[in-house]
C-alpha cells in the first residue's frame, strides 16, 4: 500500500502493487522514491503528494 498515515488524521494506504517477489518489491519501492523525489513539493509528505496528483495518475506513472 502507499499513502497511509497515522496520527491526528489517520488514513489507510491504497494498494499500488501486489503479488510481488522480493526483487519486484524492491524495484517498486525504488520507483516510488524516485517519483517522489521528482514530483513532491519541498516538505510535502508522500500521501499529500498522492492527494494532489491523484492516486490513479501516480499508479499509472509507476506502472
pLDDT of the chain along its 63 residues, tens only? Answer: 999 989 888 989 999 999 999 999 999 999 999 999 999 999 999 999 999 999 999 999 998
11 in a domain, yes or no? no
36 in a domain, yes or no? yes
54 in a domain, yes or no? yes
The domain of 56 spans 22-62
- CA dist 37 and 47 (Å) reads 13
Three cell numbers, residue 10: 489517520
27 in a domain, yes or no? yes
At residue 30, φ and ψ (nearest 5 deg) are -60, -40
Amino acid at each position: 500500500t502507499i499513502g497511509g498515515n497515522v496520527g491526528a488524521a489517520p488514513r489507510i494506504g491504497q494498494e499500488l502493487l501486489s503479488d510481488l517477489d522480493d526483487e519486484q518489491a524492491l524495484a517498486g519501492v525504488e520507483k516510488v522514491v524516485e517519483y517522489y523525489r521528482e514530483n513532491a513539493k519541498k516538505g510535502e509528505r508522500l500521501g499529500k503528494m498522492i492527494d494532489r496528483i491523484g492516486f490513479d495518475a501516480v499508479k499509472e506513472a509507476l506502472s
